[in-house]
Amino acid sequence: MSDFEPKIVAFVCNWCTYAGADLTGTSRIKYASNVKIIRFPCTGRIDFMLLLKAFSNGADGIIVSGCHPNDCHYTSGNFHAKRRWIMFKELMDFMGIDMSRITFSWVSAAEGARWAEVVNTTVTRIRELGPYVSYKELVNKSVEEEVKNG
Amino acid sequence: MARIGVFVCHCGENISATVDCGKVAETIGNLKHVAYSTEYKYMCSDPGQTLIKDAIKEHNLTGVVVSACSPRMHEPTFRKACAEGGLNPFLCEMANLREHCSWVHEKNELTTEKAIDIVRTQVEKVKLNSALQPIKVPVTKTAMVIGGGIAGIQSALDIANTGHKVIMIERSPSIGGHMSQLSETFPTLDCSQCILTPRMVEVAQHPNITLYTYAEVESVEGFIGNFKVKVRKKAKSLDEKACTGCGLCTTKCPQKKIPNEFEQGMGMRPAIYVPFPQAVPNRPVIDRENCTYYIKGKCKICEIVCPTKAIRFDQPDEILELEIGAIVVATGFDIKHADFFPEYGHGRYKDIIDGLQFERLASASGPTAGVIKRPSDGEIPKNIVFIACAGSRDPAKGIAYCSKICCMYTAKHAMLYKHKVHEGKAHVFYMDIRSGGKNYDEFVRRAIEEDHVNYIRGRVSTVFERDGKLIVKGVDTLLGAQQVEIVADMVVLATAGVASSGAEDLAQKLHVSYDSHKFFAEAHPKLKPVETNTAGIFLAGACQNPKDIPDAVSQASGAAVKVAALFSQSELTREPLVAIVNRTSPPTYSTCVGCFMCQSVCPYQAIEREEFKARDGKVVKTVAKINEGLCQGCGTCVALCRSKSIDLLGYSNTQVYAEVVALLNEY
Ligand SMILES: Cc1cc2nc3c(=O)[nH]c(=O)nc-3n(C[C@H](O)[C@H](O)[C@H](O)COP(=O)(O)OP(=O)(O)OC[C@H]3O[C@@H](n4cnc5c(N)ncnc54)[C@H](O)[C@@H]3O)c2cc1C
Ligand code: SF4
Ligand code: SF4
Ligand code: FES
């Protein structure tokens, strides 16, 4: 298990977390290279079906991160994301998805160090959990095909 | 068939020191649909950009991925280069190999692998990009200035003098703001009214300025260059054209016991009143809440005495609908009042007053004609105590910030007192003296050294009354926290400057941010101090934070320049990364089911209704439609729509799905 390199996708908003991750770079703070970022204009744009999409494509862990409450570039996108997340979380939990594989956080454009910390703690946690093989067992084949093909 | 060009940048050694750029370019070059892949030391340099432009033509590229630094840094550079090379700029994406890879990881295999994944992902995305055209929107060259204090006045005059129309909205019956209440102004001690009144008159007479007083913003729709503002002009109960401003009504009104706001409650006014003698416009309004006719149904004395028959009891509020291109918010500030300071006896003892009340006492046109008399018995105080930072810099009171103006006006007050009551003693309790500003520290020193004001460094713990005197208890920290007690005839509190009432409500109508103290928030604390986060809405004066007149005026002129710059173009162009609701052929028209859930989440009210009609004119379907002028491209509606009818250009469902798939799968 020790040489297991988890695959982690991060869905982040452009204005806070993406910029915060840029700052991690300009500050030359090192973090684990397992996390790869996909940029969205706002967390409000993040359709949580994408999380299932990521798991079905082999993600071991997921980070969703945007602006702190009240700081959303579009004023309220992150509130809608949060609200949707609360509902979706219940549903995913009910479906048997391992919620400890998902990190939901706020990282601002000024929090370069915090981004590194979010990544590192997530990577450590997922490393301990091991590869997410049980997702495959959870989803029956036909559903999986459907999810995979969009 | 897509033909993608990939350009891997070394960024000097910033990327190449940890990422094997050669390997990245080579691996990517072998991918399907990648027609050209290369590396270069500095992609953003002139030769780097030329390389891209040439490759677009030579290899007939249909998309470009520049694998370099953050798109937040150079996306505009490379999009422009692509456009110059003949490729639609929106067919260019950036892969962030520097901030998100080379700078944050060690040099090893995994880092290069990650770099390849990042580039691959963008290659998959760019294949699905579509050529977009920038959106052009017209500009209405009329500005609205909300608030007629010195900041609003300055902004309005500056904009009007560039030749553009300005509409000023002031909620009280006169413009002038707090400055009209001040006696003399630091650091020069020139009379406030004398320098302000000419400006007020200029506003009223300027051919480019339309002034609406007793008016408030009701609602704001639209976007930069194209705001639609509804303004409620409250009924003044007066035909302003017929009124000559003779003032007869105000002298005959039987209702005379209404605390005068302009005198900070230290005088009375009638129900029909002009707020102060120099008011602009110099016409009365009826305060309906206190007018006998509105309360009891009879009186109408003003109507009877008015020589021009200008009184209109049945006048309704009027709603104006205005087309506006830019907005300057200049709604100013307020100060904390009595109930906030129980420990200082404020509100309990008549002779404890606030700074604005002192201004009125010191003002030649004030209730005491400029003689410093205490409110309780009209005596001239022999001993006066000024308490600075009353509420400010006190996290326990919820106000952690420094109100900035109090140190200076407290020195001014002590000085004015000494100039008027030569034998009197003035004491100032302060925490620190903050007198940064041109000639400001010299001013405070003059109060201490020439006017012998007794400055005591320390906080006051309580103020109470004993035998008709006010006992001020505090400490002198310069004397080793020694207890001091001063027996005073009058106490003046420099109460904290706070957001003006209704600021939060207005900010919400305007869709601009405000801070935890309800002051309007600037777009950037250093580089965009007059902009808000809503394009086309600017800030001037103390509505942003407490500030003095020179600062308020400078910012007001800054805001005016921003408006003038905006009005120098007749069209604005903006990025076309907006949402769209799909359209299909009849009879479906769109997969949208018309639930309009999206309407309720859009922060910009950008979602409209479109009706489809049958030949007989009957509406057969109503579906959502995005106003691309209003949409800012947040995508909240896209994630919400349950029938997947909305998509976001530049971040479409297929694009982000393709990114996820590319990122996680082997190639
Ligand atoms: C006691 C005291 C003494 C001072 N002495 C000095 C001094 O000596 N020198 C100096 O440089 N500065 C001094 N100042 C500071 C000075 O008063 C301010 O810098 C100045 O008034 C700020 O101007 P403004 O236009 O931003 O705000 P304001 O003067 O507050 O004007 C705001 C205007 O907007 C209007 N308004 C508010 N909300 C709305 C709304 N929703 N719609 C429409 N209109 C609205 C208000 O009615 C008001 O007319 C002093 C302040 C105090 C409290
Ligand atoms: S949420 Fe979707 S289906 Fe509902 S109105 Fe909006 S676009 Fe139409
Ligand atoms: S993308 Fe955002 S701004 Fe545009 S219509 Fe949808 S919710 Fe409104
Ligand atoms: S822009 Fe960051 S969460 Fe909305």
Give ipTM to 2 decimals.
Answer: 0.93
Which of B577, B604, B608 to mutate for ligand 3's pocket (most ligand atoms within 8 Å of CB)?
A: B604
The structure tokens listed for B433 are 């003296």
Q: In this predicted structure, what is the pLDDT of residue B305?
A: 97
- Residue nearest to ligand 3 atom 2, measured at CA: B634
CB-closest option in B533, B601, B635 to A40: B635
Contact check, Cβ <8 Å, B636/A29: no
Q: Which of A17-26, A89-98, B147-156, B549-558 has the lowest mean pLDDT?
A: A89-98
| Residue ranges around ligand 4 (CB below 6 Å) | A 13, 15-16, 42-44, 66-67, 72-74, 77-78
Atom number of ligand 2 nearest to Cα B597: 1
Burial class (CB in 10 A: 0-12, 13-18, 19+), B263: buried
Q: Give ∠ CA B212-B216-B219 in degrees, rounded to 5.
A: 120
- B405 in contact with chain A, both atoms CB, cutoff 8 A: no
Contact check, Cβ <8 Å, B636/A77: yes
Give strand ranges (E) for chain A. 8-13, 35-40, 61-66, 102-106
Contact check, Cβ <8 Å, A80/B636: yes
Q: Is the CB of B645 under 6 A from ligand 2?
A: yes
- B639 in contact with chain A, both atoms CB, cutoff 8 A: yes
The minimum CA-CA distance between B165 and chain A, rounded to whole Å, is 30
Pick from B651, B620, B613, B622: nearest CA to B634: B651
Burial class (CB in 10 A: 0-12, 13-18, 19+), B527: exposed
- B289 in contact with chain A, both atoms CB, cutoff 8 A: no
Q: Which residues of chain B have pLDDT under 70?
A: 338
CB-closest option in B100, B653, B656 to A21: B100
Whole-angstrom distance, CA of residue B553 vs CA of residue B101: 46
CA A86 / ligand 2 centre spacing (Å): 21
Q: In this predicted structure, what is the pLDDT of residue A144?
A: 62
Give SS3 for B236: coil
Burial class (CB in 10 A: 0-12, 13-18, 19+), B102: buried
Contact check, Cβ <8 Å, B664/A7: yes
Which ligand neighbours the alpha carbon of B590 most closely? 2
Whole-angstrom distance, CA of residue A38 vs CA of residue B639: 16
CB-closest option in B105, B106, B634 to A41: B634
Pick from A136, A30, A43, A130: nearest CA to A82: A43
Which ligand neighbours the alpha carbon of B644 most closely? 2
The helix or strand, by DSSP H or E, that contains position B159, with its residue range, turns out to be helix B150-161
Tell me: the pLDDT tens digits for A37-82?
A: 999 999 999 998 899 999 999 999 999 999 998 788 888 899 999 9
Q: Is the CB of B641 under 6 A from ligand 3?
A: no
Burial class (CB in 10 A: 0-12, 13-18, 19+), B457: middle
The structure tokens listed for B283 are 């016409």
* Sign of the four-CA dihedral B364, B367, B368, B374: negative
- A82 in contact with chain B, both atoms CB, cutoff 8 A: no
Q: Is the CB of B329 under 6 A from ligand 2?
A: no
Chain A partners within 8 Å of B105 (Cβ) = 30-31, 33
Contact check, Cβ <8 Å, B656/A40: yes
Q: Is the CB of B597 under 6 A from ligand 2?
A: yes
- Residue nearest to ligand 2 atom 3, measured at CA: B592
- B655 in contact with chain A, both atoms CB, cutoff 8 A: no
The minimum CA-CA distance between B113 and chain A, rounded to whole Å, is 9
Interface of B with A in 54-73 (CB under 8 A): 70-73
Whole-angstrom distance, CA of residue B467 vs CA of residue B228: 61
Atom number of ligand 2 nearest to Cα B593: 3
The helix or strand, by DSSP H or E, that contains position B81, with its residue range, turns out to be helix B71-84
The minimum CA-CA distance between A25 and chain B, rounded to whole Å, is 4
Pick from B631, B648, B632: nearest CA to B640: B648
- A81 in contact with chain B, both atoms CB, cutoff 8 A: yes
Which ligand neighbours the alpha carbon of B264 most closely? 1
CA B306 / ligand 1 centre spacing (Å): 33
Task: Convert B598-636 to b/e letters by CB count within 10 Å (16 or more is b).
Answer: beebbbbebbeebebeeeeeeeebbbbbbbbbbbbbbbb
Q: Give φ, ψ of B608 to 5 degrees.
A: -110, 180
Token pair 């400057």 in the structure block, residue: B497
Q: In this predicted structure, what is the pLDDT of residue A107?
A: 94
How many Cβ atoms from other residues are within 10 Å of residue A94's Cβ? Answer: 8
| Strand B383-390 to B425-430 pairing | parallel
Q: In this predicted structure, what is the pLDDT of residue A1?
A: 45
Within 8 A by CB and 6+ apart from B639, the residues are: A44, A45, A46, A47, A48, A80, A81, A84
CB-closest option in A18, A25, A37 to B98: A25
Interface of A with B in 85-114 (CB under 8 A): none
- Within 13 Å, how many C-alpha atoms sit on residue B487's CB side? 4
Mutant choice from B575, B602, B636, B642 vs A, greatest count of A C-beta within 10 A = B636
Whole-angstrom distance, CA of residue B551 vs CA of residue B529: 12
- B278 in contact with chain A, both atoms CB, cutoff 8 A: no
Whole-angstrom distance, CA of residue B222 vs CA of residue B533: 15
Average pLDDT over residues A83-112: 91
